[in-house]
Amino acid sequence: MNRALLVIDAQNEYFTGALPITHPRDHFPQLLEVVDHAAMKKIPTVFVRHHEKTLPIFQRDTDGWKLHPEIDGRPRDLLLDKGLPGCFTNTPLQEWLNTRKIDTLTIAGYMTHICCDTTARQAMHRGYKVEFLSDATGTLALDNQAGKVTAEELHRSILCAQQHFISEVIDRKAWIDRTT
Domains and CATH numbers, the chain: 3-178 (3.40.50.850)
Q: Which residues pair with 45 in a beta bridge?
A: 5
pLDDT given at position 96: 98
Contact indicator for 46, 4 with CB cutoff of 8 Å: yes
Per-residue model confidence as pLDDT tens for the chain (180 residues)? 899 999 999 999 999 999 999 999 999 999 999 999 999 999 999 999 999 999 999 999 999 999 999 999 999 999 999 999 999 999 999 999 999 999 999 999 999 999 999 999 999 999 999 999 999 999 999 999 999 999 999 999 999 999 999 999 999 999 999 999
Q: How far, in Å, are 17, 70, 106, 125 from residue 119 at the CA level?
A: 23, 23, 10, 10
Q: What is the pTM of this model?
A: 0.97
Under DSSP, is residue 47 helix (H, G, I), strand (E, B) or coil? strand
> What's the number of CA atoms in the CB half-sphere (13 Å) around residue 179?
26
Pairing assessment for the beta strands 129-138 and 168-170 based on DSSP bridges: parallel
